[in-house]
Structure 1
Amino acid sequence: MTTADPTPYARTVHGSGPSLLLAHGAGGGIAANFGPIMDGLAARHTVVGVDYPGSGATPTPAAPLELDDLADQLVAAADAKGLDTFAVCG
């Protein structure tokens, strides 16, 4: 990560099957953006997502957000779950 925050972002993991990494929009976290379809996605996929800083269960950062940091946290969440390959939805 480029300007690493030592605390990982809040993570959501559901389901099993082929891996699907969720990247939410600016208007809320994983639950707000994908909640209504989460059960359907998790029925066929291992669904992993992170709440970006200031959304969901991840606190607002003191420093400005960097796109590389957001991408690094998404990949770190997949790595922590042991996912070697994954599709991205967002």
Structure 2
Amino acid sequence: MTSRSVLAAAESAVLERMAVSRANLVTARVTAHLQQTGGKPTVTLLAALLVGSLVMGPRKIVGVVVRNAFVAWIAKTVRRIAGT
């Protein structure tokens, strides 16, 4: 491998990690917004899913959304149990 191909591979890996972290941030912001608005779906959620699927691809965004939805569900359940 030449140094250019190594640098290109490293740059590609960094850009992919940045895209994943950006999608995680968007999903976390949308989740927080949904919790503040009572869990009602909004245009922001749909826009975040659309942008995430365009940036990361549909396969990765589904994993991110499912994982974050599962974490939000667990947090809501724990808060509800702890509150009673």
Larger RCO (CA under 8 A, 6+ residues apart): 1
Fold conserved between structures, TM > 0.5: no
| Higher share in strand | 1
TM-score normalised per structure 1: 0.34
Q: Larger radius of gyration, structure 1 or 2?
A: 2
| Higher share in helix | 2
